[in-house]
Chains A and B, each alone.
Chain A
Amino acid sequence: MPIIVTLDVELAKRKMRAGDLAEAIGITPQNLSVLKAGHAKAIRFSTLEAICKVLGCQPGDLLRFDPD
C-alpha cells in the first residue's frame, strides 16, 4: 500500500511504548499493532484525533504517501 504509517517513528521520538499509547487513546494493543504494522485498511477520524492529541502531532506526521 502506498500509504505508510510512521507511528513507530513518532513513538520513538517521544520514547513512548505502543501499549501506553493504546491505553491512552482507548483502543486495544492488537488494533494499534495492526495500524503500526501498516496492515490497517482504514483509520477512523476519532482514532486519528486521539493519537494526535496524545502525541501532540499532526495527522501528516503519522501518514506518508509513497507512490513506489
Chain B
Amino acid sequence: MDRIARLSRVLRLCFAIALATLIVLSSFVIAITYQEAGRWAAVSVAAEVILQGALLFQGERLLALYQRGVLFESANARRFRTIALLVVAAAVLPRVRGPAGSLEVTFQVDFNAIVVGLFMLILSWVMFEAAKAADEQRLTV
C-alpha cells in the first residue's frame, strides 16, 4: 500500500510537469503551425494536444486516487475507462499536414494503440466488477 502511494506521488509529479510543459509548448507549436501550415493544420495539432493533455490529466487524477489509498472504487474504474477511450481516440485521430493551400489529410491508424486502448477498456470493466465486490465486502458485517 505504501509502495503504491509513494510511486503514485512520484508519477503524479511527473504527469503534472508533463502537462504543464505540454500546455506551454503546445501554444507555441499551434501558433507556428497556424502561420506556416494554415488554420486546419493548427486545428489538427490542437486536437492532438487536447487528447494528450486529457490523457495526462486523467492519469494524474487516477494516480491521485491511488495515492489516497482509493484502489477498488468505481471512481478509479471511470478514470481508467476514460483513459482507454482517449487512447483509442488518439489512435484513430486524422492528421492534417502540409502548407496552406495544399492540405494533406492522413488517417494513420495506430493498431497497437487501439489494441492497448481496448485492453484497457476491458480492464476498466473488470475494475468496475472489483469495485462492486469491494463495496459488498465493505458492507458485509
Contacts and interface: CB of A to CB of B under 8 A. Distances in A.
Interface of A: 27, 31-32, 34-35, 39-44, 47
A15 B140 CA distance: 26
A40 B141 CA distance: 7
A58 to B, nearest CB: 18
23 contacts: A27-B141, A31-B141, A32-B141, A34-B139, A34-B141, A35-B141, A39-B139, A40-B139, A40-B140, A40-B141, A41-B135, A41-B136, A41-B139, A41-B140, A42-B136, A42-B139, A42-B140, A42-B141, A43-B140, A43-B141, A44-B140, A44-B141, A47-B141
Interface residues on B, range: under 10
Contacts of B140: 40-44
A5 B123 CA distance: 37
Contacts of A27: 141
Interface string B104-141: 00000000000000000000000000000001100111
